[in-house]
Amino acid sequence: MRPETPAPLTLQEHRELARELRAANARMGELSKMMLSVYGPNNQAAFTFQKVADSLDRLCQDMRAQAILDCPGFPVDDLYG
């Protein structure tokens, strides 16, 4: 028996998720810059903050690509920032 294929996110769901991810991405970028300025580039915590910020940015890029697949014909290129 094959598992059911999950339904893709709707345009409204992508809009809501994008709003949350944009806010989280912006805040993580701010925190990462703050940690870098406080602790310097050779600090493990500052390094990890930067890696998390980079990963969140990558997630937004991946979700932008997924939104294009999930919502063909709709203007979703700018949803995730």
Residue range 13-65, pLDDT digits in tens: 999 999 999 999 999 999 999 999 999 999 999 999 999 999 999 999 999 99
Asked whether residue 36 is domain-assigned, the answer is: yes
Query: Is 19 domain-assigned?
Result: yes
Angle at 16 between CA 14 and CA 27, to 5 degrees: 110
For residue 79, is it within any domain? no
Q: Residue 6: inside a domain, yes or no?
A: no
d(CA 23, CA 7): 25
- The range of the structural domain enclosing residue 66 comes to 11-70
Is 78 a domain residue?
no
pLDDT of residue 81: 85
> Helices (H), strands (E): how many in the chain?
2, 0
Structure confidence at residue 3 (pLDDT) = 60
Answer whether residue 57 is part of any domain: yes
Residue 33 maps to a domain: yes
Counting the structural domains of the chain, the total is 1
pLDDT at position 2 is: 55
pTM: 0.85
Q: Is the pLDDT of residue 1 over 70?
A: no
